[in-house]
Structure 1
């Protein structure tokens, strides 16, 4: 009852301000103020204010919000622990065993180095690495990409 009275008073005051604004020949602003001042009385008439006041003043509703907050907090804690990789001893042992085991085909996961070399030829010994250019000196590959795209 109190919330409805307050909303009605706010609407009446807003309509009064809109009338004064219209008297000053500021019709666009007066219309906007009138629209805003009709919102509280509209909420009262639709029952939204009563619904909100019932939610705000019931202890069981606040207890429910508290339970939801605790549930959310527990979810966030478990996600943080999961991201850190902390698990049970059994999970850690299984992860350690999986890390120690060798791959079934170690060469299968190696990246291919030659694009057109046949697989039958044996690889030659690795050549000594060439001196790499200092950063910022060799932009030929970037220039080629830019020329390809017309830039």
Structure 2
């Protein structure tokens, strides 16, 4: 009974504020106040206040157990260890230090091409040149300097790859 009285009192107060806002020609604010004012009556009429009370009670019981029950602390420690192991294996996998239980490394050869950390998104990292590959010579000096010097490097890379 008290819940109904409080709910409808809050709704009435909200409707009064919405009416004052509408009278001052602040229609957007009046509409917001009307929407908020209808919430307590709607929650009461649908029976959601007892549900909220039950959920609040269960959360309070869980919080009490969290503080005083050693079994809950054991569960928290197990969750933390699990998360730590997942993060550690992910980090070690990126560093290439994960082994296959024996002495040989898990990855035999270069991994898949990954996007570069800097530069344009989606650009793959260039593989290292082979030991017998000739280093790229200096850019040709016969061309005029038209501000396209950066593109000469890209052109040389593309030419080396046969593109």
What TM-score results when the alignment is normalised by the length of structure 2?
A: 0.47
Q: Which has the higher helix share?
A: 1
Task: Tell which structure's C-alpha radius of gyration is larger.
Answer: 1
Higher RCO structure, 1 or 2 (CA under 8 Å, sep 6+): 1
